Amino acid sequence: MDIFLTNTLGRKKSKFIPIKPGLVGIYTCGPTVYHFAHIGNLRSFVFADVLKRMFLFNDYKVNHVMNITDVGHLTSDADEGEDKLEKGAAREGKTVWEVADFYTKAFLADSDKIKIITPTTISKATDHIKEMINMIKEIEKNGYTYISEGNVYFDTSKLPDYGKLTGIKQNEDESRSRVEKDPHKKNQSDFVLWFTRHKHGNHAMIWDSPWGEGFPGWHIECSAMSAKYLGNKFDIHTGGADLAHIHHTNEIAQCEGAFNHDSVNYWLHSEFLVMGENKMSKSTGEFLMLQSLIDKGYSPIDFRYFLLGTHYRKKISFSFDALDSAKNAMEKLRNKILELRREEVSEEIDHIEESELEKIEEELDEESEYEFYIDQFREQINDDLNTPQALATLWEVVNDDELDPITKRELLEKFDEVLGLDIKSMREETIPTEIIILKKERDLARKNKDWKKSDELRDAILAKGYKVLDDKDKSEVRKI
C-alpha cells in the first residue's frame, strides 16, 4: 500500500518514493541539552517515532539518526544572544560538559518512558567537529563563504533559490529584520559556519580549525552528521515547525554549497504544542516536563495517547482536562485488554466442543475481519500519519462485538506497533499475599454484614495502593 507524506518543500502531500526500495533513511533534529526536554519538544520526537514505526509496519528497514546538540548555541536562531549551554552551566554551577551529559541522560530516560524506539544512531555534535570542519572546507572550496571579523559566513546571495523551503525571499524575511543587524554580514540572511570571535567571548568549548580556534555555527552539525550516517542524499529529515525557517533553510544551503545538490527528499515538520496562547519554550523557562506530568499522577503513555489524538501538522493545545481524557481512555483500554485476556481462556475451552469444520470456518471469518481492520488502519497511518483516525479504528475494534477476543487482542497489539501504547505489557498485576489476606477478611466481614469492618478493610487496602471493586456478590482488587 502506498505511503503519502506532506513535504514542507513544495508544501504538498505526495506519494513517498524511497531512494532504495524497502529502505528509509530518517534524520531527526534532536534536543539541545542545556535543560530538560519539555513536553513540546517531546511532541516532535514522538512524531518522528510514529513516522519510523509506520515504516516498520510497512516492512521497511529504517535507518534513523538523531543528533544531540551538546555544542552551545546562541539563544536566538540568528547567530545572536548568549550561548545556551554556558547559560545552563552558569545557572547550575556546573561545567558545560557536565550540563550536556546530565540533560542528555535525562532526555534518553524520558524517551524510554514515552516508548520512543531508540534511534539506530544517536550522534553528539561534540563528537563530530572534524566532520563539520571538513564540510565547511568543502563549502569554502566551492566559493560559498567569506570571512568577516574572524568568523566564517555562508554567503546566501550565491544561492538563487535560498529560502525555498518555507518560501522566503532572501533578505525579505520579517522575523530576521527584527533581530539586531550584524554589520559584518554581506546579506542579513547570511549565517556563521565557524566562529572564532564572538561578542560573548570566553567560550568553554573551543576547537582548533583552519580558520582559528573557535566553535561551529549551529546549522552545520546536522548537515555534517546526516551526511556521515545517511549519505549526501537521503529520504526524510524531521524537526519541529520552528526549525524550517532558519535551521533547515540553512542546512539546505550548506548541503548545496558542499555537494552541489540538496541532500533531503522529504522535509517533514511537526507543529507546536501550545499552552493557552503560548508556544512552550525552554528559553523562556516556562514549561512542563514529562516528570511534571508524572508527579501529578499521569503516566507517560497517557501523554503519548494525548499527542496521538491530534494530527502532527496541527497545533496541539495542552490542558490538564485534555490529558485527563487521555488518561481515562487509556484506563478504559487497559481494562478492555485485561478483560480480553480473561475471555480468551474461556473461549479456548468453548472451542474444544466444536467440530473441525466449524473451527476452520470460524478461523476464515476471523482472518478476513483481521485483514479488513489491518487494511483500514494501514490506510490511515500511511495517509500522512493520520493518528486521530487510527485511534478511531482502535476503538472501533474494541467495540466490535462480532470479533472474538483473540483476534481483537491481536489486532490491538498489531496497531500498537505504530501507536506505542505498550498494550502487550497490559497484564493482570500479581496481587501481593498481604492484600489477598486483607481482601479475604473483608469478604468475610461483608458476608457477616459487618459494614464498619468491611469499610475499614477497604480503606486499609486502598492505603496500600489497591482499590476494591464490588459487584453484587463478589469483589475484586486492582492496583491503582
| Cβ nearer to Zn ion, comparing 73 with 87 | 73
Question: Binding string to ligand AMP for residues 400 to 439, with x set by CB under 6 A, is what?
Answer: ----------------------------------------
The Cβ of residue 425 has, within 10 Å, a number of other Cβ atoms equal to 10
Strand partners, 83: 74
Q: Which stretch binds Zn ion (CB under 5 A): 33-41, 222-230, 266-274, 330-338?
A: 222-230
192 makes contact, choosing from ligand AMP, Zn ion, none, with CB < 5 to 8 Å by partner type, with none
| Cβ nearer to ligand AMP, comparing 201 with 285 | 285
Contact 297, 330 (CB under 8 A): no
| Cβ nearer to ligand AMP, comparing 88 with 240 | 240
| Cβ nearer to ligand AMP, comparing 40 with 217 | 40
Angstrom distance (rounded) from CA 414 to CA 389:
16
| Cβ nearer to ligand AMP, comparing 43 with 158 | 43
Is 44 a binder of ligand AMP (CB under 6 A)?
yes
Question: Binding string to ligand AMP for residues 53 to 92, with x set by CB under 6 A, is what?
Answer: ----------------x-----------------------
Using CB under 6 A as the binding criterion, the count of chain residues that bind ligand AMP stands at: 18
Least gap, CB of 27 to Zn ion (angstroms): 8
Least gap, CB of 353 to ligand AMP (angstroms): 55
Strand partners, 32: 69
Angstrom distance (rounded) from CA 50 to CA 419:
7
Angstrom distance (rounded) from CA 27 to CA 144:
25
Angstrom distance (rounded) from CA 142 to CA 241:
30
Sign, Cα dihedral of 148, 167, 134, 127: positive
Using CB under 5 A as the binding criterion, the count of chain residues that bind Zn ion stands at: 2
Which of the residues 219 through 278 are near ligand AMP (CB under 6 A)?
Answer: 239-240, 242-243, 272-273
Q: Which whole-number Å values give the CA distances from 268 to 225, 292, 366, 432, 480, in the listed order? A: 18, 29, 37, 48, 39
Contact 442, 434 (CB under 8 A): no
Which of the residues 3 through 32 are near Zn ion (CB under 5 A)?
Answer: 29
Contact 150, 212 (CB under 8 A): yes
222 makes contact, choosing from Zn ion, ligand AMP, none, with CB < 5 to 8 Å by partner type, with Zn ion
| Cβ nearer to ligand AMP, comparing 248 with 334 | 248
Q: How far apart are the first and last CA of the chain?
A: 42
Angstrom distance (rounded) from CA 25 to CA 13:
19
Pick from 47, 284, 85, 292: nearest CA to 202: 85
For residue 51, the one-letter residue type is L
464 makes contact, choosing from ligand AMP, Zn ion, none, with CB < 5 to 8 Å by partner type, with none
Least gap, CB of 44 to ligand AMP (angstroms): 4
| Cβ nearer to ligand AMP, comparing 110 with 256 | 110
Q: Which stretch binds Zn ion (CB under 5 A): 19-27, 103-111, 220-228, 317-325?
A: 220-228
Angstrom distance (rounded) from CA 461 to CA 467:
7
Backbone angles phi, psi at 232, to 5 degrees: -90, 15
DSSP structural state of residue 76? S
| Cβ nearer to ligand AMP, comparing 288 with 457 | 288
Least gap, CB of 361 to ligand AMP (angstroms): 50
What does the binding site for Zn ion look like in residue numbers (CB under 5 A)?
A: 29, 222
What does the binding site for ligand AMP look like in residue numbers (CB under 6 A)?
A: 29, 31-32, 40-41, 43-44, 69, 239-240, 242-243, 272-273, 279-282
